[in-house]
Amino acid sequence: MKFISQCIALALATLIMAAPAGAQMRIEAPARVETQGPYHLRTMFTNSHHCLETVTKGVNSWVQMAPCSPTAARQQWRVESLGDGLSRVRVAGREGDLCLRVVDDGINDGLAAAPCGRTPAPVEQWKIEASARTGYSRLRSPFTGDGKCLDIVNDGKNNQLDMADCGDYSGQYWGFARVR
């Protein structure tokens, strides 16, 4: 019986939330995230009113958390399966050639929105893993290793992202809310 309870708990933990801003959340299985979208990416820490967005000035692009807007193309993301449990997180709007990438700067904790490579480089590959928090997943990059997770910097502004040591931190729990 304990084994069955653990299996049910694991199945529930693999669900990802999908709901537009202001609407009641609806849970979807991770397999659907691979094939559908666009999504708003939200964290438990910044709540359902803040979404991951790209910001572009000139030739430079970066990512940050900002108040969600159902019409902002820069906040709409698609997840494309690369196989072997890896995915690429790509801007779904008119800036669709941009991917969420780890900055390869020797420190490897920054994030950017940069042109997607023809062949996805390790800096733009992501493992989207079920978490113990129902409706949320963790994002890890093979480039930084399994010990680092996509996180929100807890600095009072709470809008910057980095790759931080994985732990039970609400800024590392990501939900995928379907944009309708």
Identify the pLDDT of residue 13.
32
Phi, psi of 70 (to 5 degrees): -65, -15
Instruction: Please tell me the number of Cα atoms within 13 Å of 139 on its side-chain side.
Output: 26
Q: Which two tokens stand for residue 97?
A: 């050639």
| pTM recorded for the entire structure | 0.79
Instruction: Return the closest-CA partner of residue 131 out of 12, 40, 13.
Output: 13
Listed residue (66, 87, 91, 69) closest to 78, CA to CA: 91
Rounded Cα gap, residues 130 and 96, in angstroms: 26
The pLDDT tens digits along the chain (180 residues) read: 333 333 323 333 333 333 333 433 343 444 445 456 799 999 999 888 899 999 988 777 899 999 999 889 999 999 999 999 999 999 987 666 899 999 988 887 899 999 888 889 999 999 999 988 889 999 999 999 999 999 999 888 889 999 999 999 999 999 999 887
Contact in structure between 116 and 97 (CB atoms under 8 Å): yes
Residue-wise pLDDT for 84-132, tens only, equals: 999 999 998 766 689 999 998 888 789 999 988 888 999 999 999 998 8
